[in-house]
Structure 1
Amino acid sequence: MINQPVMSVFYQASVDAESVGNCPFCQRLFMILWLKGANFTLTTVDMRRAPDVLKALAPGSQPPFLLFNDEVKTDTNKIEEFLEEKLAPPEYTKLCCRYKESNGAGEDIFRKFSGYIKNPNPGLNDMLEKKFLSTLVKLNMFLETPLPHELDQNPNITESSRLYLDGDTLTLADCNLLPKLNIVKVVCKQYRDFAIPPELKGLTRYLNNAYKQDEFRYTCPNDSEILIAYQSVAKYLNK
C-alpha cells in the first residue's frame, strides 16, 4: 500500500463563518477530491478573519488552496492538473475527459449570465436574456448530440442518453461546470424569475442526473448563501 498523501483543502466560509460558502472554484476542488476517493480535511476559512498561519501559507491568495503534504497550491486550474497527475489509477479514479469538446462545453454561460443578471436597465433585458439563453441552447445541443462511443454502440441513434458531459461518469469538466450552473439556476430564479426551459431536454436531464450525485448535491452551498453573495451585484428590474 502506497503512503497516502496528507491533504488539506482551505475553502471559503459561509456568512456564518462555519459552513461552505459560495465559491464555484472551491466546490470544484471538493468534488474532484471526493470523486477520486481521496482522504482529505476540509477547513472553511473566513477571509475577513483569516488566521496568520494561513496568511503565511498563501499570502495574498483567496481560497481554495491545497496543502499537499507540505506543498501549497493556490491556482485552481493547476491544482486540478496536479491532482490528476498525483492521484492516479489504480489507487485513485481518473477524471479527465475522453473528448476534448467536453472540456469546453458551457464555457460561455457564466459570462453571459453575469451580463444578464447585473443589468439594471429593463430595456436591455430581452436582448441580454436571449444572449444568455443562446448559451444554454448551445450546451443543450452538445448534451443531446451522441458522442462517438455511443454511435459505436448504436450507429442509428439520433439523440444522446448519456448522464453527464463526457459520458456516464462525472469528470473534471463536470466539476468545473456544475457549480456554476447551480449558481445560475438559483440567481436567475430570484432576480429574473427565469428557469431553464424544460424544452432543453439534454440540459434538464444533465442537471437532474447531477443533483442525484452526492459528490455534487452535498458540496453545493445553501441557496441563501449564493443569494447573499449576489445581492451587491445582481439587479432587480422594476418594470
Structure 2
Amino acid sequence: MAYANMMRSGLTASKSLTTPFCAGTGVQQLRRRPLTSRAYSRRQFAAMAQATYDIWVKGSPEKNELGDCPFSHRMMMTMEEKGISYHKNLLDEQKMPDWIKDVCDGQKQIPFMKENDSGKWLYDSDKMVPYLEDKYPDKKKLGKPDECPQVGQELFPTKFVEFLTSKPGEDEDKKKKALIAELQSVNDHLEKSGKPYFGGDDVCATDLSMAPKIKHIKIGADEVKGWQVPSDLKALHAWMGRMSERDSWKKTYYTEQYVRDGWNLKVKKLSEES
C-alpha cells in the first residue's frame, strides 16, 4: 500500500488527503564515519550493479538516513525475509522529483521500485508484495496478503488516526475504545492460534504488514495522546517483541524519535486544516 491509496480508503473526510503521510522531521543517526560524496557515489553504483531491485523509500539522501514510512518498512522487511537483493534509494517526501509520476501512473508516492533485469517499475506495497511472491516461488514463502490471516483491517490508519485527531471528552473516549477494540482483535487472533506469528511458526505477509503499523501506533499514540497500548494485550506485545528481534527488522530499523516527530507534524497539519 502507498500513502495515496491508504488515505483514500481510510480518511476520506480529511483534507489531509493532499499531505504526505510519512512526513516527519526526525532522522536516524547512523553510527559511522560520513562518506565523502565521491566515495558514497562509488558505493552506490557498486550496490546498484549487484541488486535485483532498486527501491525508493522515505529518508534523507543528504544524510543517508532511513525514514519512518511504514509501507517502505514493510517492503524492505519482505525483501529481507525472502532474501531478495535490493538497493535502497532515499527520498525526502517534501522534495520528491516530478519523474516519479512517470513511473507511478501519475502519482508521487513511496515506496516504489524498479526490477533491474526487466526494467519494470512497480509501486504500491499492496501490489508489490504479491508480485514478489509470484516472481520468486523458490524463495521463502510468505504468502500473498489475501492468503494470510485478515486481522486489524480498520486499525491503521483509520482507527489510529481518528483517535490521534479526536477532541478531549466523549469523542476521544469513543475513538480510543474503537482503537482498543481493533487491537484486541489482533491480540485475540494471536492468543487463540497459540503460535508465535500470524503465519504460524514463522512470519507471513500479515506479520510484515502489521509490525510497522503497530510500531507507529505504540510510539505515535504515546507521543500525541500520552496513551499506551494496554499491557493486558500480552499476546500482541509478545509478538511485537519477537518481530523486533528478527534480522529483517534490525536491518530496516529507524528511530522512535523519527516516528514521534512525524506524527506530531501530521497531527498539527490535520488540526490546521480542520
Same fold (TM over 0.5): yes
RMSD of aligned residue pairs (Cα, Å): 2.5
Change (3 A) 1:189 1:52: closer
Contact map agreement 1:105 1:139 (CA 8 A) in 2: yes
Unaligned 5+ segments in structure 1 are: 147-159
Give me the whole-angstrom Cα distance separating, in 1, the residues matched to 2:190 and 2:63. 37
1:146-194 CA-to-partner distances (Å, cap 9, x unmatched) read 3xxxxxxxxxxxxx1x211121211111111111000000011112222
Contact map agreement 1:97 1:166 (CA 8 A) in 2: no
Out of 133, 147, 167, the position equivalent to 1:84 is 133
1:173 paired residue number: 206
Identity %: 23
Residue 16 of structure 1 and its aligned partner are, at CA, apart by: 6.5
Q: Does 1:25 align with 2:71?
A: yes
The one-letter code sitting in structure 2 at the alignment partner of 1:18 is N
Contact map agreement 1:15 1:21 (CA 8 A) in 2: no
Residue 223 of structure 1 and its aligned partner are, at CA, apart by: 1.4
Change (3 A) 1:130 1:98: closer
The one-letter code sitting in structure 2 at the alignment partner of 1:106 is G
How do 1:49-198 residues align onto structure 2 when only pairs under 5 Å count? 49-51=95-97, 54=100, 56-58=102-104, 59-69=106-116, 70-89=119-138, 92-96=139-143, 100=147, 102=149, 104-110=150-156, 111-146=158-193, 160=194, 162-198=195-231
Give me the whole-angstrom Cα distance separating, in 2, the residues matched to 1:191 and 1:107. 22
Aligned length: 215
| Structure of higher RCO (CA pairs closer than 8 Å, 6+ residues apart) | 2
Q: Does 1:224 align with 2:270?
A: no
Residue 94 of structure 1 and its aligned partner are, at CA, apart by: 1.1
Of residues 162-171 and 53-62 in structure 1, the stretch that sits farther from structure 2 once superposed is 53-62
Give me the whole-angstrom Cα distance separating, in 1, the residues matched to 2:145 and 2:92. 37
Scaled by the length of structure 2, the TM-score of the pair is 0.71
Q: Does 1:215 align with 2:248?
A: yes
Contact map agreement 1:210 1:217 (CA 8 A) in 2: no
Unaligned 5+ segments in structure 2 are: 1-49, 269-274
Structure 1 runs (4+) greater than 6 angstroms displaced: none
